[in-house]
Structure 1
Amino acid sequence: MAEHKRQPDFEARIRAKAAELGFVACGIARADAAPRTAERLRQWLGEGRHGDMIWMAEREHHRGSPAGLWPEVRSVIALGMSYAPAADPLRLATEGERGRISVYAQGQDYHDVVKKALKALGRWLAQEGGGDLKVFVDTAPVMEKPLAEAAGLGWQGKHTNLVSRAHGSWLFLGAIYTTLDLSPETAGRDSCGSCDACQRACPTEAFPAPYRLDARRCISYLTIEHAGPIPIEFREAIGNRIYGCDDCLAVCPWNKFAAAAAANLAFQPRAELTAPALADLLALDDAGFRQVFAGSPIKRIGRNRMVRNAAIAAGNSGARGLVPVLERLREDDDPVVAEAAAWAIGRLGVSA
């Protein structure tokens, strides 16, 4: 169907097709609907709050606006896929010998699931509406959260993540850039009010102010993006978190409206990732790591970073039974792993 023959309800048909493909949220924004994004990104980068994530700065000019990445774009279709958990994300906080993995990483790799659905929607859109398009999920230089807010999916909360009235904090975001002129939605309105639960919940005080995040202090950044030794000042606060952190999301009151039944089945947690034993993680070699985390977003951090994280958690566990495997890791080929193991042994009160 050529673009000029599009039916008057075309935007409603887009939303219906998106729902058919597993998206629980779909909205449309003009490509220039989030004009302050570039300014805020520039300030954040200028303050160095992106830490080791150098790719954020390297493609700043592409991230600042949709047109910065693709000048021909006229509209953005923002989409959300639910991964709302059935269990309390904070339930393992006191189980020191078990590792805590962020909810989003306990199931199938969201990149694959969301990208497949985006491509299917893109093919439908090209057939039914014409025009050119590009699809994006997470890895591209796209600022999904301000675009999702502009498209009416929700608002960026004080923890800087998107919050939806219907789905809380548990949405994977994707975007389709298109040359079509589509009717935009009303932008999401901030409904955080006076609540500061997410700010108070952060174990490492990663929020210098509401709506501002210092990634260098964020446990998700430290356990996933940061490749070197984790700074000593944050190790105790990390507790038993070995991949990511859900604390600021989990305490958001809007999550009471998020139904786990809405979550894509692909994101149901794998049994071995819901509460892994630190002893098992500390014993992983490269082959074992690849086997355990095949098909998971965790696979991208590699064995060394995961074992480093598990060693930090072991040091916080109080479990001296982990010392023998930590002793072996003191001789690990990776100096970062070896240092983390030595720290953990000392923390457990065992002399060298």
Structure 2
Amino acid sequence: MSKIVVNAAPAGTRNFKPLVWNRIQITKSLDEICHSLTLELPVSQRTNIAVHDTVEVRFYNKYITHNNGNLRVTTVLIDEITDTTDNGRKYITVLGRSPARDIIDSAWTGKAGGSDLLTVAKSIAGHFDIIVDHLPRGQNNTETVSSFEWDCESPWTKLLNAADNQGYVFTSNEAGNLYLTKSGRDAEQWHFILAEGTNIKSVETTEAGAEQFHEYVVVSSGVQGTAIDNLCKNKRVLTLNLSDFNLDQEKAKRRASIELYRRRKRTIKVTVSGWGLTDEQIKSFSSTEEKELFFNPNFLIPVYIPSAGIDGKMMISEVEYRAEPTAFDCTVSLVNPEVYMGKEGAAIAAKKTGKMSRLEQIAAKHNITPIQVKK
């Protein structure tokens, strides 16, 4: 049996005390960087929180073999507290974001170029006491950012562009710090899987064209990279000026292609019980240390959804965790890997292989028991 515990500490301290809570919603997204938290509390908790306090959400499970049987899910700083009375019901709503909010919201002047991307990121984040780690840990494969200056603004957008140019993404982590990692982490090694008839409760597929263009042009210091979307049959043109970064022809073309895939994306949202691996899957590890247990953005996972024509690896772009005291579930947003990786990775049609269906193979490999789906 799993349970969720919410703790709060006054701003600038680590003196955490548990909160009584009614509802939790946590959103993690590759497009937003910061985790966002919406927390509903009874009015009795009002004196226990204030804006800018730190809130952490922890997941307890008896099969977690390290860290006293619990893991942090997120750490945020409180942005806003609202007291509400609705038909006689009184409650408090707390909104918070990851500590990286302070980098995003601040505006100042500085420069940090001439070093590799990881060093530049550490220099900027360190001003706010935020730690940046490269994944895998102990490595640094980032390239030099020759010029990096900002004037009366946040350097955040330029930092994201610099990462995009090198095929990296920034994500907030559970402790409130930042990870810098290559786009696409293979999560199959931890037995993550999404399969219709196994652990999926509902599926929603969305195709959007409002931000789609026919031609994408990336300009950088005399170099121009282009990409044409033949599925967008009009004359819409998007030009990105990345002259602050000395991109070569190959990188300029790659950025144009990624922009094409990102704006052409088809998003599949699936709702599942729990926030990640099942008890049986967690139990199957001899040790949970250094294992990922929750669905997270940037994960590449096997997906089998024959009703949507999906049978292959897809990338998690966003996860929305929800909880009430007696139940919790999450919605996982999936996109094709090329949206962030710049590679074609379209899912293939569902099919049977040999005597076992794809679903039976998945269930056997990942220690999941298929459920009967009503038709």
Return the TM-score normalized by structure 2. Answer: 0.23
The structure carrying a bigger strand percent of its residues is: 2
The structure carrying a bigger helix percent of its residues is: 1
